[in-house]
A and B are shown apart, each in its own frame.
Chain A
Amino acid sequence: MDRKMSVMIVDDEAIVRESLFYWFKKDGHVVETASSGFEALEKLEKYPFQLLFVDIKMPGMDGIELLEKVKTEYTDTIVIIITAYGSIESAVKAMRIGATDYLLKPFKPDQLSLVMERISVQKRLVSQYNYLKGHLEKITRFDNIIGQSPEMEKVFSLIPEVAQSDASILLAGETGTGKELVAKAIHAESPRSHLPFIAINCGAMPESLLESELFGHQKGVFTGATRARKGFLEVVSGGTLFLDEIGEISPKMQINLLRVLEEKKITSIGSREPVTVDFRLISATRRDLNKEVAEGTFREDFFYRINVIMIEIPPLRKRKEDIPLLAEHFLKKYCQETTKYVDHVTRDAMELLRHYDWPGNVRELENAIERAVVLSKSRTLSVDDLSFIRPPDKPFSKTLSLREMEKAYIQQILEENSWNVTQSAKILEINRVTLHKMMKRYHLERPEG
């Protein structure tokens, strides 16, 4: 394991900074110095130093104040306090706030190497912990399904319940809401979890190919069929088959699948010998199949076969309280993948994320965070990094009354200005007191969070 670290020495005495700088250089670390707490915070904003050596007595911002700020903003950063003025109280205070160690200047050379050895061990343990935690998260049941909103809590409570039965499940939800993740979670919770999970996007392939993929084919039945191939309905053998975009399949395919579900037998293309199959079906759709059944464009008997249990996955705009949690999750994910160190989303940027409607749902949010992380030049994601997100204009309905119109317009201006009353009042060309009165009249309140 690489024991080299990025170190910053924060001390107002140049001679101390210099001594430690050269020592760490010789030890092979990336070293930077700062002569004050303010300079240290500026440098931390730009580069994720892993280890800080901080003098306790400094003019302006002292070491304890800097330690407090670092431990609030950059929790992973290790801080060692150094001082020439040793006192039990300051040492205890520093350790309570979160300093990893405390050195009294001048210290014996082997004390510093001991501290570095301990930090190296701690770094290794944290790295092992993160690896195992990540590994554990990957194999646990609700992998990557994030949310604490009541809507998602309902989905979470349904997953273990429905997983135990073999009934067909229909997952309904807009594109990008995470239907496949829910399907995987149900499979992982089910008695079939040790058997295959196969996902097929029915909307992504033409009917003939989908038929061949599902039912398999014999050698030579069509051009390119140079050898016999088992279909996924057979390959899944005992596991779970996830058919995404089930609403896209043709009436003919609906009949074929209905037969399979009823008889539990398939006949591959070009064969006369039926094969018994065993699988649990989970389907998903973003279309309103109830409506399509009513209109006669989707087979009713097939619909009731696949829709024994329906789980509705809410769109992101209906569970906006989950956005910060999801944003933080994707931020961590893409920092690991891109090896960039972006660990913050500013309050304004988070507000922007919360107020956008996310027509592409969680997938769109994930893509936005990935794009912002890749393009970000600092360790904090700001509104500028998310400038590609354009909240859609909200056209007013023609049926609104003047009162409703006024309320909606004030709300829009407040949202666009992050609920800054002074700024909004300026745009509305009224004074702040009037705006406050109108907000009270229309029950307009800044959303919490």
Chain B
Amino acid sequence: MTSKKKSVSVVPLGDVPEVDLQVIADHIIGCFKLTTQILPPMDPPEYALDERRLQYNAAIIIEMFESIHFSDHDKVIAVLNQDLFIPIFTHVFGEARQGGKCGLVSLYRLAKNPDGSTPPKSTIHERAAKVALHELGHLLDLLHCEHKKCLMHFSGGIDEVDEMSLDLCEYCSIYLQDKLR
């Protein structure tokens, strides 16, 4: 018996540049070898806006997405331009639950360097791809990894996102292959 190959949809929430979506989709195909499709945009998640923090609550968006049925797609990566948070953290670049269905990627903080300068477009695209692949890794049941260069290493700051590579370490690769079998 052969298992059906997993497929991923990339969904923009609100106004997200086409090029960012394409970069994310291409990296999912290239790095994880999964069928990927960019879906039409959905409304920005105003329901998740926290008036006090002026940020969007990632947990609320994820819960909403978990209830939506995306036919033909096993995993969903939603991309938005808004600043995301989870209640304990000041912000997150992305969010996904272990083995869940939907992951989020926020482009909001990726366009600035820690010193406040603006990085080149290519760097922003690379960061977006890393965050998307990292969250997809969680959806595929991968855990945080101790290896600083591994894609699954936890990044608390943008410098750590830059430090990690687009690749999984040896152990996480084997684990992913096992999960995708």
Contact = CB atoms under 8 A, between A and B. Distances in A.
B57 to A, nearest CB: 9
Contacts of B154: 26-27, 109, 113
B130 to A, nearest CB: 15
Given A27-B154, A111-B156, A106 B59 contact: no
B68 interface: no
B89 to A, nearest CB: 5
B156 A106 contact: no
Interface string A90-125: 000000000000000111111111100000000000
Given A19-B59, A112-B156, A113-B154, A106 B88 contact: yes
Contacts of A16: 87-88
Given A19-B59, A26-B98, A26-B143, A82 B156 contact: no
A150 B22 CA distance: 81
Nearest to B152: A26
B17 interface: no
A26 B138 contact: yes
B157 A110 contact: yes
A18 interface: yes
B112 interface: no
A107 B90 contact: yes
Nearest to B141: A26
B156 A110 contact: yes
B87 A108 contact: no
B56 interface: no
Contact of A27 (B86, B144, B155): B144
B88 A108 contact: no
B82 to A, nearest CB: 17
A28 B154 CA distance: 12
B156 A109 contact: yes
B89 A107 contact: yes
A25 to B, nearest CB: 5
A106 B87 contact: yes
Interface string A62-88: 000000000000000000001000000
Interface string B82-97: 0001111111100001
Given A13-B87, A108-B91, 10 more contacts: A19-B86, A19-B87, A22-B97, A22-B98, A26-B138, A26-B154, A28-B144, A106-B87, A106-B90, A109-B154
27 contacts: A15-B87, A16-B87, A18-B59, A19-B59, A19-B87, A19-B88, A22-B98, A25-B97, A25-B98, A26-B97, A26-B138, A26-B143, A27-B154, A105-B87, A106-B88, A106-B89, A106-B90, A108-B89, A108-B90, A109-B89, A109-B91, A109-B155, A109-B156, A110-B156, A110-B157, A110-B160, A113-B156
Interface of B: 59, 85-92, 97-98, 138, 143-144, 146, 154-157, 160
